[in-house]
C-alpha cells in the first residue's frame, strides 16, 4: 500500500479511527514502512462460558469420576451412561482443561521439537512432517529454536520440567553432551539428523540419520568417476569435531584417497548453509584459479549459491564446472540447470522420528537407531570431462 493509497483510505475512515505512521527506525534493514489504524474495540472477546467436568457431571446426572472415565476410556462405564455423558459433552462442546489433567498426571501430552534453524528448507520440510505426525496422534507440538551457543539439552530440560513434556525431538546440529546429560532428560527423546561429539553409548538414545561420511563419499566418487580431479568442497566447519561438515569432509577425503588424488586444503571452503555463503565461498574459490572443474556442496542451499557464482562468472554448468549438492530440496531441482544432489529422505526421517518417539512413550525400552540411505540424484549439473 503506497502512501497515497493510505492517505486516501484515511479519508474514508470513521472519525473514531486514528492513523499514524509506524516507527520506521525500528526497521532499518528494510525499506518497509507502515501505517497503523487504531480504534478502541468496544467488544473485547468474551471467553465462551467455560464448562468444567463438574458441570458436565451435574448436567448428565452422574458423578465426576464417571465423566472422567468416559472421556479417558478408562475403567468400566455402562453403555447407557457413556452415551448420556458423551451427548452432554458434545452438546456443550466441552473440552477438558489440559493444565489440570497434566498437573494431576504429572505428564502432559505435549511434544517439543528443539530445532536449529526453522527456515532451512530441508528442516522446514521435516518439521512439517513432524507436526503432521504428532498432530495425528492427538498431541500438540511445541517448537523451540536453539540458537548457536545455547545448550540444547539444558533448554529442553527447562521445558520438560516446566511443562511435564511427553517427549522431545531434537533436530539438527552437533551435540556435545555426555550420556549422563542425556539421561537427565527423563523423558523419551530422539535425535534426528544430529551428530554427537562425545562418544555416547548407543543404548542411551535413539536416532534417525543418514551416513554423512558415506554420502559425501558417494558424491565425491561420482564426480571422480566422471573424470574430475580438482573437486572443491563447501561446508561449514566450526571448531568442533564430528560436525556434519566434518563428517562429510571425511567422506570427501576418503573418496579422493581411494582414487589416488591428493587432498588439497585450498579446495575446501568454510561456509554457512545458505545461498549467500555458498555464493561468496565459490567466488573466493574461482578467483584463486585452481583449475576447479567440480564443486561438491554440503547442502543444496550452498550449491545454489555456488552455482550462481559460477554462472555469473560467465562459466557454464556443467560445461565448465560440475556441481553436486546435498539434501534434495525442491528448489535445487528447479534451478537451471537442475542440480545433482545427494538426497536425504527428509519426510521419511521425520516420520520415523515421531514413530520411534511414540514407541518410547508407549513404553518401548529399546532405543533404536535408524540410518536411512541417501540417494545420488543425477539431473544434469555434472558431466564427464577428458
Site residues (CB under 7 A) for DNA, limited to 105-124:
105-106
Partner whose binding site includes residue 5, from a second copy, DNA, none (CB under 5 to 8 Å by kind): a second copy
d(CA 189, CA 183): 10
| Sequence-ordered list of residues with C-beta below 8 angstroms from that of 100, at least 6 positions apart, any chain | none
Which part of the chain contacts DNA (CB under 7 A), choosing from 46-54, 144-152, 165-173, 304-312? 46-54
| Inter-residue contact 231 to 224 (CB < 8 Å) | yes
Q: How many CA atoms lie within 13 A of 211 on its CB side?
A: 12
Please, what sign has the CA dihedral across residues 127, 128, 131, 133? negative
By the rule CB under 7 A, 71 interacts with DNA: yes
- Select 217 or 296, whichever has its Cβ closest to a second copy: 217
Partner whose binding site includes residue 227, from DNA, a second copy, none (CB under 5 to 8 Å by kind): none
- Select 229 or 337, whichever has its Cβ closest to a second copy: 337
d(CA 371, CA 13): 61
Q: Which of 8, 19, 39, 65 binds DNA (CB under 7 A)?
A: 65
Using DSSP, state whether 85 is helix, strand or coil. Answer: helix
Partner whose binding site includes residue 65, from DNA, a second copy, none (CB under 5 to 8 Å by kind): DNA
Which part of the chain contacts DNA (CB under 7 A), choosing from 60-68, 239-247, 262-270, 321-329? 60-68
Q: Which cell is 210 given?
A: 543418514
Partner whose binding site includes residue 131, from DNA, a second copy, none (CB under 5 to 8 Å by kind): a second copy
By the 10 Å C-beta count (0-12 exposed, 13-18 middle, 19+ buried), 120 is classed as: buried
Q: Which of 74, 119, 365, 386 binds DNA (CB under 7 A)?
A: 74
- Select 197 or 311, whichever has its Cβ closest to a second copy: 311
Q: Where are the beta strands (DSSP E) in 181-270?
A: 189-192, 195-196, 206-210, 231-235, 268-270
Please, what is the minimum distance in Å from the beta carbon of residue 264 to a second copy? 27
Partner whose binding site includes residue 52, from DNA, a second copy, none (CB under 5 to 8 Å by kind): DNA
Using DSSP, state whether 230 is helix, strand or coil. Answer: coil
| Sequence-ordered list of residues with C-beta below 8 angstroms from that of 188, at least 6 positions apart, any chain | 166, 167, 168, 357, 360, 361
Q: Which cell is 47 given?
A: 471467553
Please, what is the minimum distance in Å from the beta carbon of residue 64 to DNA? 5
Q: Which cell is 227 given?
A: 573424470
- Select 135 or 384, whichever has its Cβ closest to a second copy: 135
By the rule CB under 7 A, 75 interacts with DNA: yes
- Select 143 or 229, whichever has its Cβ closest to a second copy: 143
Which part of the chain contacts DNA (CB under 7 A), choosing from 80-88, 182-190, 267-275, 361-369? 80-88
- Nearest partner of 326 among 59, 135, 121, 169, judged by Cα: 121
What is the 8-class DSSP label of residue 336? S
By the rule CB under 7 A, 276 interacts with DNA: no
Partner whose binding site includes residue 81, from DNA, a second copy, none (CB under 5 to 8 Å by kind): DNA
Site residues (vs DNA, CB under 7 A): 50-54, 57, 61-66, 68-69, 71-72, 74-78, 80-82, 94, 96-97, 100-101, 103-106
Amino acid at each position: 500500500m503506497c502512501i497515497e493509497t493510505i492517505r486516501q483510505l484515511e479519508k474514508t475512515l470513521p472519525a473514531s479511527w486514528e492513523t499514524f505512521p509506524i516507527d520506521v527506525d525500528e526497521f532499518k534493514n528494510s525499506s518497509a514502512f507502515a501505517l497503523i489504524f487504531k480504534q478502541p474495540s468496544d467488544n473485547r472477546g468474551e471467553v465462551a462460558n467455560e464448562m468444567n467436568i463438574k458441570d458436565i457431571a451435574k448436567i448428565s446426572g452422574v458423578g465426576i469420576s464417571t465423566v472422567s472415565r468416559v472421556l479417558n476410556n478408562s475403567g468400566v462405564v455402562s453403555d447407557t451412561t457413556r452415551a448420556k455423558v458423551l451427548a452432554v459433552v458434545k452438546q456443550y462442546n466441552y473440552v477438558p482443561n489440559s493444565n489440570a489433567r497434566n498437573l494431576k498426571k504429572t505428564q502432559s501430552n505435549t511434544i517439543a521439537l528443539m530445532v536449529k534453524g526453522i527456515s532451512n528448507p530441508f528442516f522446514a520440510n521435516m518439521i512439517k512432517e513432524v507436526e503432521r505426525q504428532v498432530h495425528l496422534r492427538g498431541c500438540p507440538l511445541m517448537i523451540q529454536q536453539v540458537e548457536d551457543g545455547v545448550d540444547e539439552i539444558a533448554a529442553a530440560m527447562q521445558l520438560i520440567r516446566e511443562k511435564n513434556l511427553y517427549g522431545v525431538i531434537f533436530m539438527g546440529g552437533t551435540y556435545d553432551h555426555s550420556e549422563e546429560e542425556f539421561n537427565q532428560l527423563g523423558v523419551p527423546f530422539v535425535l534426528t539428523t544430529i551428530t554427537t561429539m562425545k562418544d555416547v553409548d548407543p543404548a542411551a538414545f535413539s536416532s534417525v540419520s543418514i551416513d554423512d561420511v558415506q554420502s559425501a563419499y558417494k558424491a565425491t566418487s561420482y564426480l571422480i568417476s566422471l573424470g574430475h580431479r580438482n573437486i572443491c568442497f563447501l561446508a561449514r566447519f566450526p571448531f568442533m569435531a564430528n560436525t556434519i561438515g566434518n563428517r562429510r569432509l571425511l567422506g570427501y577425503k576418503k573418496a579422493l584417497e581411494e582414487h589416488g588424488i591428493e587432498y588439497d586444503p585450498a579446495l575446501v571452503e568454510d561456509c554457512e548453509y545458505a545461498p549467500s555463503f555458498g555464493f561468496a565461498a565459490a567466488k573466493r574459490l574461482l578467483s584463486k584459479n585452481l583449475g576447479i572443474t567440480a564443486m561438491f556442496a554440503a547442502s543444496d542451499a550452498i550449491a545454489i549459491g555456488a552455482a550462481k557464482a559460477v554462472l555469473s562468472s560467465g562459466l557454464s554448468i556443467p560445461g565448465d564446472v560440475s556441481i553436486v549438492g546435498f539434501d534434495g530440496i525442491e528448489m535445487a531441482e528447479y534451478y537451471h540447470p537442475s542440480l545433482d544432489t545427494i538426497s536425504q529422505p527428509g519426510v521419511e526421517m521425520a516420520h520415523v522420528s515421531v514413530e520411534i518417539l511414540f514407541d518410547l512413550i508407549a513404553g518401548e525400552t529399546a532405543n533404536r537407531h535408524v540410518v536411512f540411505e541417501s540417494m545420488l540424484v543425477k539431473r544434469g549439473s555434472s558431466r564427464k570431462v577428458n
